[in-house]
Amino acid sequence: MIGSASGRNHFAIEVSDLNATVAELRKAGAHFRNDIVTGVGGRQILLDDPSGNPIELFEPRLPGARLYPSS
């Protein structure tokens, strides 16, 4: 679980192609809280699960930014 600037906790899921994942979820009717944001380590977007809880989708740009580094 990751804390956010707003103080709310959320789950983060790493994806390999954020654009494709967002397009597929939008087609299925998912509600997104924002547009894709690009930072130094990667790209992210927040969506709501069916109960309104935030879930972060994250596409790393750098190997060190991966949520689950390879061992």
User: Is pLDDT at 71 greater than 70 in this prediction?
Assistant: no
Residues 71 and 55: their CA atoms lie apart, in Å, by: 25
Q: What pLDDT is stored for residue 44 in this prediction?
A: 95
CA dihedral 48, 50, 52, 54 (to 10 degrees): -40
Instruction: Round to whole Å and give the CA distance between 7 and 22.
Output: 24
DSSP string over the chain: -EE-TTS-EEEEEE-S-HHHHHHHHHHTTPPBSS--EE-SSEEEEEEE-TTS-EEEEEEESSGGG-SS---
What pLDDT, in 10s, does the model give residues 28-46? 999 999 999 999 889 999 9
pLDDT in the model for residue 41: 87
pTM here is 0.79
